[in-house]
């Protein structure tokens, strides 16, 4: 982690490894994680005016998603696989600055987002590609799948967990549909704020064939446009 240097990746400043508790010191991001940040906000519009809630514009949502894509583009250029990309693992600074973190820091707070598969570690199955769940295969292409879910979270202002209508077991069954490819897969629905072009990009992140998913370079370029 200390070798990762990118404007959209959290900087590791120091570690304490001599005695318990083991600690890592990272740069400070004053607005906390993106999940909590967005859940405290509303989209611009009549509802926000009535409730007097703080708002985030659609262009700023795209700006934040673009920064995540940029950080992931950097990680993928180093062949670094994140394995747990989600809004809970992105931190927010001033002026909607986003830095990707993780690295296992949010497990307690978001324990409901993780599922213990028998004989394996707890896994964020609702963000994971079918091949990661069924075959234990983690690649940049599986990070692209997770990015599609993260983008879905952003456009829903993190008001809902992915596949909230499905149990954990049904989520795993759904990945089996991708494996069998009988066209019975359940996809995350198009968020109300989401234009067709952006939803089409999300769906491309969830293609069964890993080679048909876009690269983070392509995703980042599309979001800039």
**Could you tell me which residues come within 8 angstroms of residue 161 by beta carbon, excluding any fewer than 6 positions away?**
112, 113, 126
- Residue 198's contacts (CB-CB under 8 Å, 6 or more residues apart) are 151, 155
Lowest mean pLDDT among 1-15, 62-76, 101-115: 101-115
Residue among 33, 84, 113, 143 flagged as catalytic: 84
The token pair at 41 is 């906000």
Query: Annotated catalytic, 181?
Result: no
Give me 106's structure tokens.
């949010």
pTM: 0.92
Banded model confidence at residue 51, pLDDT cuts 50, 70, 90: confident
Tell me the backbone φ, ψ of residue 57, rounded to 5 degrees. -75, 160
Give the CA radius of gyration of the chain.
17
Q: So what's the pLDDT on residue 220?
A: 98
CA–CA distances in Å: residue 213 to residues 29, 96, 171, 182: 31, 27, 21, 19
Q: What pLDDT was estimated at residue 53?
A: 79
CA 126 – CA 96 distance, rounded (Å): 25
Write the pLDDT tens digit of every residue in 114-167: 776 666 678 899 999 999 999 999 999 999 999 999 999 999 999 999 999 999
Question: Are 127 and 84 a contacting pair, CB within 8 Å?
Answer: yes
- Range scoring the smallest mean pLDDT among 18-32, 60-74, 109-123, 164-178: 109-123
User: Among 25-29, 57-61, 74-78, which is the least confidently predicted range?
Assistant: 25-29
- Domains within the chain, CATH numbers bracketed: 29-223 (1.10.510.10)
């Amino acid at each position: 982690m200390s070798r990762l240097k990118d404007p959209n990746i959290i900087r590791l400043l120091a570690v304490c490894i001599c005695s318990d508790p083991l600690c890592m010191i990272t740069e400070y991001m004053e607005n906390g994680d993106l999940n909590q940040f967005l859940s405290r906000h509303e989209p611009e519009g009549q509802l926000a005016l009535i409730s007097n809630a703080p708002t985030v514009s659609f262009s700023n949502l795209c700006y934040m998603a673009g920064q995540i894509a940029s950080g992931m583009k950097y990680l993928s250029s180093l062949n670094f696989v994140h394995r747990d990309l989600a809004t809970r693992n992105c931190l927010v600074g001033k002026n909607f600055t986003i830095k990707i973190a993780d690295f296992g820091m949010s497990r307690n707070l978001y324990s409901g987002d993780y599922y213990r598969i028998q004989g394996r570690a707890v896994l964020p199955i609702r963000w994971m590609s079918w091949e990661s769940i069924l075959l234990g295969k983690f690649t940049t292409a599986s990070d692209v799948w997770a990015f599609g879910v993260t983008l879905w979270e952003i456009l829903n202002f993190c008001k809902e967990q992915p596949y909230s209508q499905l149990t954990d077991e049904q989520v795993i069954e759904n990945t089996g549909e991708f494996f069998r490819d009988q066209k019975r897969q359940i996809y995350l629905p198009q968020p109300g704020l989401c234009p067709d072009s952006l939803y089409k990009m999300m769906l491309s992140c969830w293609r069964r064939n890993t080679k048909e998913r876009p690269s983070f370079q392509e995703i980042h370029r599309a979001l800039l446009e």
